Amino acid sequence: AATGTFRHAPENEAAPEGENLWAGTPGRFTPEAMVDAWAREKRVFRPGRFPDNSITGHVADVGHYTQLMWRATRSVGCALAHGAREDVLVCRYSEAGNYEGEIPF
């Protein structure tokens, strides 16, 4: 979040973590609203094995939600950075989620 760059962190195979990113107009959204944007993906979620969990057929439509709800995740840390052009929220999850062939929860 501190870099102000909207991209996922490089993979760390020794200690894999999941990551959700959100960016929007500075000062317009609370952290709760940012996380709620991921939670609203539940509307197009369907139970089953990842990545076949979206009624739209596009895993990107539910990937934030499934990581948010992933049953093996035991800890979450988030950081919010305020920039001139956008606010960026980064949440990291350990254990990572969204593993192909697994059931999210």
Domain coordinates in residue numbering, the chain: 18-94
**Mean pLDDT calculated for residue range 80-90:** 92
pLDDT value at 14 more than 80: no
Cα of first residue to Cα of last residue in the chain, in angstroms, is 28
Closest to 65 (Cα-Cα) out of 22, 23, 26, 31: 22
pTM (two decimals):
0.88
* Cβ pair 49, 57 in contact under 8 A: no
Closest to 15 (Cα-Cα) out of 91, 92, 87: 92
pLDDT band, very low/low/confident/very high, at 92 (cuts 50, 70, 90): very high
Q: Which two tokens stand for residue 40?
A: 């609203």
Homologous superfamily of the 18-94 domain (CATH): CAP (3.40.33.10)
**Mean pLDDT calculated for residue range 61-72:** 97
pLDDT value at 46 more than 90: yes
- The residue assigned the tokens 């509307």 is 43
pLDDT band, very low/low/confident/very high, at 2 (cuts 50, 70, 90): low
pLDDT value at 104 more than 90: yes
pLDDT band, very low/low/confident/very high, at 84 (cuts 50, 70, 90): confident
Q: In what order do the strands lie in the sheet with 87-94?
A: 18-24, 87-94, 75-82
